[in-house]
Amino acid sequence: MKINYNYIKAFLVLVLVIFLFGFAEKRNEIRPLAKVVVKFTEFENLYLTEEAVNKLLIQNNVTVTGVGKETLDLNRVEKVLNTHDMIENAEVFLTLDGTLKTSIVQKRPIGRILGKEIFYIDRLGEKMPMSTYYSARVPVITGVGEREIKEVYPLLDHISQDRFLQEHITGIRRLNGGVYELEVRKMDFSLFVGKVENLDTKFNNFKAFYKKAFKDDILNTYKMVDLQFGNQVVCTKK
């Protein structure tokens, strides 16, 4: 019987490759993590820092550097990070060189509540604490507490998604009965929107009025602009 040495060689090479692969994978698992890299996405303004992220992990007894990869619970790291009041979503993953990379989407404030308690409302309509690192330029809201967040959120959300309104609306005031009055940048008049409803119609009417009055240079002749009457813009002169 003739022995085919080519098959034997191929088999030995295959066994060697499997052994080396398993050995390399095992060494990679027990290799300690070298460093942690935190990357903030979505927005340039930082409401928390890399140092704050690392501090959060330490406070929750999550050790990431100097431990083997096989002992690191990535799901737990993500859960800890997602409990932070400034983080909307966090994802963590490992690289081959032993780096733990953390991708963080920060919460984005769209309004600031001024009252007994001062806090932001974020783009998802949730309460967000003030940051010690950055102060957002968003409309200031008075007459609203935590109980009225759901009521005022559609108004804030509408303003935050419209560039014209973002540039011109600086303040929101809740009056008795759940009606709202807005402050307009560099203008003496108040903008009355009434209940938080029919916002598309109301603000489209306001844009048309503003552009026409600006062109005619008569914006400063008004003390009140009322949008709550259907397709009408009712103005009160000084």
Name the segment(s) of the chain with CATH classification 3.10.20.310: 32-106
Which DSSP letter does residue 185 get?
A: T
Candidates 194, 168, 197, 196; CA nearest to 183 is: 168
* pLDDT tens, N- to C-terminus, the chain (238 residues): 445 445 455 544 454 445 434 433 444 444 445 566 778 876 667 788 888 887 777 776 665 555 444 546 778 888 888 888 899 998 888 777 767 788 889 999 999 999 889 999 999 999 999 988 888 999 999 999 999 999 999 999 999 999 999 999 999 999 999 999 999 998 989 999 999 999 999 999 999 999 999 999 999 999 999 999 878 899 988 8
For the chain, where do the domains classified as CATH 3.40.50.11690 start and end? Answer: 109-237
Which residues are registered as beta bridge partners of 226?
192, 234
User: What is d(CA 154, CA 159) in angstroms, rounded to the nearest whole number?
Assistant: 9
Q: Is the pTM of this model over 0.85?
A: no
CATH 2.60.40.10 applies to domain 32-106: no
CATH class of 109-237: alpha beta
